[in-house]
Structure 1
Amino acid sequence: MTQKTREEMQATGTCGSGRITVLQLGSPSGLYGAERWILALVRSLPPDRFDVWVGAVKDHPRDPVPLCEQAHSLGFKTVVFESRGRFSPSSLGQVRRFMQRNRIDIVHTHGYKTDLIGVIASLGTGCRVVSTPHGWTSDPDLKLRLYETLDRVIFPFCDAVAPLSEAMSRDLGRIPGVGRKLHLIENGVDLQEVEAVDRVEESMTRWKEEGSLIAGYIGRLIHGKGLETLFSALAGEGMGKWRLALVGDGPQREEFVTLAGRLGLGERVRFFGFRPDRLSFLRGFDTFVLPSESEGIPRCVMEAMAARVPVVASDIPGCRYLVEHGRTGLLFPTNDAAQLAHALQSLAADPELARRLGVAGYHHVTESFSGARMALQYGRLYEELVPAAKPER
């Protein structure tokens, strides 16, 4: 187990401070929606009321942990637990000892693996467990289906389950023993992080100077994100002015590179990989496209709205929650490349429509989906679970 510490105010621990000590336990791989969600939450929690650690359990000693690296750079205390393979009893012991030594009041988990670790490691410690499920896969393979089923079995043993959307809340409410523990806290975005970036990435600037229109995607390169549909739309007739910037990485990257080549997209599609400066790319997009087959409430769409970039998204529950067709963005039928192309052509033909959608999206996300609002609700939940006078443990 390794630890990193910054900020003197947080380094002193909470004994006698009256603050609630929270361990956010996230994924060790990548810095995508759920991990950025954790960072948005911890940045908005009041430090005079909450002492926050950000942690992860990694499978291999040499692997980097982007979540903890980013949290550390922001001044938060971080801890990395090491597991021998996908899951091991040793990691449970590490987490449990850490909870006891640092008097953790709440472990907040994010995903089936951390849910299981959090529930088992906290037994007998007095530590409360809060789980935030970040969404389900629309067409999982057998292995993933087993993991997601396991997660549903774990939820009744948590002290609170906080889904990000009403649809997820309804789904979880059907599980015996979960209904009374549900706390719907809708997704939020760190508006300050988005607003702080005004630089446009150099490649985006060059494309615009060449007269191109830029469609952008930020996220994982995996099946289920609908990227095949996006490629097909760009390969259609009349789409020659559009270029596509893909910011992110994933196991299907090479497969998508091959597909783009086979469709004749050539230099019109560029894979930029994972980029910490993703928001400087976003600032250069003419539109943000999310063609996913399933989502919770996608933070990437929120970030695009916060940057006043018009959104084109698949007509699925998670996207409909944010995008009102024709008012805060455009929706198209899932996996329908022709309709996606039509939506992009509509924006190209009517710059005033694009501007209006961007402005309406900005007002919608700032009024209803700020990270500060989300943190306020989680703060109240944490305080409900932990008595005002912290018990000796």
Structure 2
Amino acid sequence: MTQQRRKILLLDNGKEWGGGTNSMLELLKRIDRQRFDITCCFYYNYARGEGETIEQVLNGIGIPVIFLPQTGQPLWAKISKETARAFVFFSRSMRKKVAEVIDKQWRINPNAKRIRDLLQRDGYQILYMNNQPGSNMEGYLAAFDLEVAVVQHCRIEPVMTEQITQTVNQTAQAVIAVSHGVERVLIQNGVHKSLCTTVSNAIDIHQPLPDGKAMREELELDENTFVFGSIGSLIPRKSCHHTLEALHRFHQQHPEAKWKFLLVGEGPDRDKLQQQANGYGFADRVIFTGFRNNPLDYLAAFDAFILASKSEGLPRVVLESMLLRTVVIGSNVTGTEELIDSGRTGLLYPYGDVLALAAHLQAVWQDSALRDVLTQQAHQRVIDNYAIEHYVAGVENVLGAVKPNRNNHV
């Protein structure tokens, strides 16, 4: 007897290409097409470096995609929003509530109706959402009281409120956390434990790996130049300004050091970061590459990778660094601290503590033996625990088991 394929609508309302996008694509490339019939629903046809769009990539792997174009708020709504916020200028919580009301009226509710129409029209059995609960409220509203199973793939440490928690408990059949730390945060915020499961992010441990020499030559970096680097969107959450401040302190303490800092990525903070480097007097040591389709080539060229983020889920780029035997220095936030056993597989520091970060920069620059120990143990940890096959199987298990029953976990 032939098993019926489960019809899934995958919702991604993001605006930019990030680690969550790459994790989603790795799943879609490998998921069992005999069991799962997936259509993607996106708001934006965003692109990565060199102009390749998400639509082109999905078409290349045979996954259909639907786009729900977004309309901006009318001028009168924007004026009303700013006027209302002005009246409650004294209260941050009230300003936030005003913004939420406007957002619900002009973005969440219209999108919920359109998604609901899709679910009903095309007979989807599962709504699979690729973000965090607070960013996917339209999906919960769309599927409420329908015979559709709701699965949330929470790819970052979530920001929760009582209302969001209640909505998840009432509507979701499963919440997949990308790390045990993310699962703990969900449960601590009241999401029912029976809904949560951890399927750790993972990478292809068998992929061919670059050695970094070609990229160093392309960037005219000789073997005596110590290369610090970061990869990711240039947004406030990534806290690259902390890295630049720590490099400033390192530079003051070791003016004799020959080093460069590579920032691989693009985002709204780029101009501020360039101005910051100019202010420290080492703009010539900082290379902004923009978004690149070949981040592993750059990562292999680093001597040390730095992730200074305020929050993470389970960062793939850390796994990739460990696989490539590049030293990792990271802030001790959810996700990153789950991967790094400080002093064994990398170095951790308290988020925002630029003095501690600067000390780690000095340690890995000075001590090649330390680098060798850290990278050897980190590489083995990835091989043993974070193969992509485990990730795909874990998600398939959840998608294969969920049923569209409503919950009483409220």
1:77 corresponds in structure 2 to 64
- Relative distance call for 1:210 and 1:354 in structure 2 (3 A) is closer
- Relative distance call for 1:218 and 1:59 in structure 2 (3 A) is closer
Q: Distance in 2 between matches of 1:373 and 1:344?
A: 33
1:34 corresponds in structure 2 to 20
Query: Could you tell me whether the CA contact under 8 Å between 1:169 and 1:184 is conserved in 2?
Result: yes
Q: Distance in 2 between matches of 1:58 and 1:92?
A: 16
2:111 corresponds in structure 1 to 91
Q: Distance in 2 between matches of 1:83 and 1:65?
A: 21
Q: Distance in 2 between matches of 1:76 and 1:355?
A: 42
Q: Structure 1 residue aligned with 2:29, among 33, 39, 43?
A: 43
Query: Could you tell me whether the CA contact under 8 Å between 2:108 and 2:137 is conserved in 1?
Result: no
**Residue 134 (structure 1) shift:** 2.4
**Residue 105 (structure 1) shift:** 2.1
Q: Structure 1 residue aligned with 2:293, among 276, 288, 310?
A: 276
TM-score of the superposed pair, with normalisation by structure 1: 0.81
Instruction: Please show how residues 110-129 of structure 1 align to structure 2 within 5 Å.
Output: 110-112=131-133, 115-129=136-150
**Residue 125 (structure 1) shift:** 4.0
Paired residue type of 1:247? V
- Relative distance call for 1:341 and 1:364 in structure 2 (3 A) is same
Residue 262 of structure 2 corresponds to residue 245 of structure 1:
yes
Q: Distance in 1 between matches of 2:142 and 2:59?
A: 24
**Structure 2: runs of 5+ lacking an equivalent:** 73-102, 405-410
Instruction: Please show how residues 1-393 of structure 1 align to structure 2 within 5 Å.
Output: 18-58=4-44, 66-85=53-72, 87=107, 89-109=109-129, 110-112=131-133, 115-136=136-157, 151-156=164-169, 157-176=171-190, 178-192=192-206, 195-198=207-210, 200=212, 204-205=216-217, 206-209=219-222, 211-235=224-248, 236=250, 237-238=253-254, 240-386=257-403
- Relative distance call for 1:134 and 1:122 in structure 2 (3 A) is same
Stretch of structure 1 that moved more, 254-263 or 199-208: 199-208
**Residue 328 (structure 1) shift:** 0.9
Q: Distance in 2 between matches of 1:27 and 1:65?
A: 18
* Identity value in percent: 25
Stretch of structure 1 that moved more, 74-83 or 318-327: 74-83
Q: Distance in 1 between matches of 2:61 and 2:283?
A: 39
User: Secondary structure at the residue paired with 1:82?
Assistant: coil
User: Secondary structure at the residue paired with 2:335?
Assistant: helix
Query: Could you tell me whether the CA contact under 8 Å between 1:59 and 1:84 is conserved in 2?
Result: no
Query: Could you tell me whether the CA contact under 8 Å between 1:28 and 1:66 is conserved in 2?
Result: no
- Relative distance call for 1:72 and 1:284 in structure 2 (3 A) is farther
User: Secondary structure at the residue paired with 2:236?
Assistant: coil
**Residue 155 (structure 1) shift:** 1.4
**Structure 1: runs of 5+ lacking an equivalent:** 1-15, 138-144, 388-393
**Residue 276 (structure 1) shift:** 1.6
2:86 corresponds in structure 1 to none
Q: Deviations over 1:264-298 (max 9, x none)?
A: 11111111111122222112111111122322222
Stretch of structure 1 that moved more, 174-183 or 152-161: 174-183
CA RMSD of aligned residues (A): 2.9
TM-score of the superposed pair, with normalisation by structure 2: 0.78
Stretch of structure 1 that moved more, 330-339 or 214-223: 330-339
**Residue 149 (structure 1) shift:** 6.2
- Relative distance call for 1:48 and 1:307 in structure 2 (3 A) is farther
User: Secondary structure at the residue paired with 2:363?
Assistant: helix
Q: Distance in 1 between matches of 2:340 and 2:333?
A: 10
Work out the number of aligned pairs and report it.
359
- Relative distance call for 1:54 and 1:362 in structure 2 (3 A) is farther
Larger Rg: 2
**Residue 130 (structure 1) shift:** 0.6
Q: Distance in 1 between matches of 2:327 and 2:191?
A: 41
**Residue 370 (structure 1) shift:** 2.4
Paired residue type of 1:97? D
Paired residue type of 1:94? R
Query: Could you tell me whether the CA contact under 8 Å between 1:21 and 1:105 is conserved in 2?
Result: yes
